[in-house]
Structures are given as C-alpha cells and as structure tokens.
Amino acid sequence: MKYGFCTGFASEKPFAIEPDMLPAIKEAGYDFVEFPVMSIEALEEQRFGQLKKQLEALDLGCTSMCNLFPGRFSPYRESDKQKIEEYLEHALTRASSLGTVKVVFGSGAFRTPPQGMSQDEAVRGLAAFCSSTLAPVCIRHQIKVLIEPLCDQECPVINSVCDGAGLVRKVNSNAVGLMADFYHMQVNCEDPRALLENKDIIEHIHVSNPERGVPAKGFDSYVKTCLEMLRQEGYDDTISFETKNSSDIASPLALIRKIFD
C-alpha cells in the first residue's frame, strides 16, 4: 500500500504548486505527493526543474497526479483536438519525468457537455475521446488514466462509481482504469457497496471527511465504512488524502495505517 497527499485543495491558493509544502508531506510519512496535472503543465521550465530536484532531494515520490485537464478545452469539440493532444504530450512528458504512473481524470469543467447534449451522447463522446486521443498518449508515456466519478454538483456526467465503471468497460483499454473519491460518493449518497461491485478495476482512492475536512481525529462513519470494505477485500493499491489545508497532515496517515497496515 502506498499513501499520498494531494496538494490541490491544501495549498494556500487552490491548485497552486507550493514547494514549501513538500518537506511537511515527507516528514509526515507519505510515500508520494499528488499534484494537479494542469498546474504542473503550466509551470515555467525553470520552476519545474527546481521542483523536480526538490522531490529527488527529499526522496518523495509522485506516483499519481489528479486534475488532468483545465476547463479551457472540451473533448466534445473537434476544433480542440490538436490543442488537447499538444497539452497532453507536454503534461504527460513532465508527469513521466517525475515518476508518475497514474493520472486521475475528473476535470468537471472539461468534461461537462455543451448545452443540449444528452447524457448518452456525452458518454459516447467521452468514450470516443478516451479511445482515440487520451489512451494512445497515456500508452506512449506508460501512464494509466483513471476515470474519476464526480458529484453531480460539479459535473452532469459520470457521477457514480458504476457510471465510471461503465465508461472504463466501454473504452476497454489497458490504459484506462477507475478510481473512487469518497467525497463525491458521499455527496451523491452513493451506496458504498459500489466499491465491491467494481473492485476489479479500482486502482486509486481519494479520502477526506465531509467538505474536504481533514480526518485528524477520526474518519466520518461513511468514510470508515468505505475503508473497511476495501480492507476486507484486500485492497492494496494507492490511497491519497485530498483535503483542505491543515497544520496536521500526519494524524490522518496514522489513522489509515491502523486500518490497512
């Protein structure tokens, strides 16, 4: 089992890359840091080089990244295809150089369909995009993309673990898998048993208490139920905390290790 900490919501300016966070993540005992892909892609070359050297000096991994796409592109617009391909090539080249092997595809603004497009049309469009554009780039960089179901407040398509599993199976590529975020599951009142029904393709987990709270003193009952289900099923892949800023990021790691280690 490998444990990570997401910087996106925890940084002082959401989704900013803040190198000062990294020593604390390492000191707390995490195996890897999980950056937003879109923020890593946007860094100036010098800053990216400095960040890479800092990770190497700390011996801190970057196994997974999230927030794959910015909202300025759309997978439903043919006119965006070349721009998306160029963005992905640059972003995944950088991700690969940091040792990243998984990227999370949530990106609610990016995958929100245009007005008037039906759910079925949107899912077909996403499946076609994953097959024709996303999977080939990921294969080239030896990175797996993991579909993240989002709560319906953030995106109107692919809202449940079962929705995400359906998309993964529709695409049917070794480069495309599934992840589960307990925050989105809980907002949508999703039955935790969806984790069991799709355990064969879930390869990453995001954990937080409600409202992206830091579970420093204990897990919310819903989150605890989900974690216990995963433990009972022998889940031993990656888990990241995706929480808001806190001075105590070591306590959540200690709590989760009591469940899995």
Residue 145: CATH number of its domain: 3.20.20.150
Range of the domain at 138: 2-260
Is residue 257 within 8 A of residue 2, CB to CB? The reply is no
In this prediction, residue 246 carries a pLDDT of 84
HSE-CB at 224 with a 13 A cutoff on CA atoms is 8
Is residue 63 within 8 A of residue 31, CB to CB? The reply is yes
- Among left, alpha and beta (phi > 0; psi -120 to 50; other), residue 219 is beta
Report residue 13 as tokens.
Answer: 């300016």
Q: Structurally, how many domains does the chain consist of?
A: 1
Query: At CA 67, angle to CA 138 and CA 128, rounded to 5?
Result: 50
What distance in Å separates the CA atoms of residue 3 and residue 233, rounded to the nearest whole number? Answer: 18
The tens-digit pLDDT sequence of the chain (261 residues) is 999 999 999 999 999 999 999 999 999 999 999 999 999 999 999 999 999 999 999 999 999 999 999 999 999 999 999 999 999 999 999 999 999 999 999 999 999 999 999 999 999 999 999 999 999 999 999 999 999 999 999 999 999 999 999 999 999 999 999 999 999 999 999 999 999 999 999 999 999 999 999 999 999 999 999 999 999 999 999 999 999 988 899 999 999 999 998
Buried/exposed code over 120-145 (b: 16+ C-beta within 10 A; e: otherwise): eebbebbbebbbebbbebbeebebbb
What distance in Å separates the CA atoms of residue 33 and residue 18, rounded to the nearest whole number? Answer: 12
Report residue 180 as tokens.
Answer: 């589960």
Length of the chain, please?
261
Sign of the C-alpha dihedral computed for residues 34, 37, 43 and 47 taken in this order: positive
HSE-CB at 154 with a 13 A cutoff on CA atoms is 18
In this prediction, residue 187 carries a pLDDT of 97
In this prediction, residue 261 carries a pLDDT of 87
Q: How far apart are the first and last CA of the chain?
A: 8
Buried/exposed code over 161-172 (b: 16+ C-beta within 10 A; e: otherwise): bebbbbbbebbe
Report residue 238 as tokens.
Answer: 């990656």
In this prediction, residue 32 carries a pLDDT of 98
In this prediction, residue 56 carries a pLDDT of 98
Beta bridge partners of 103: 65, 145
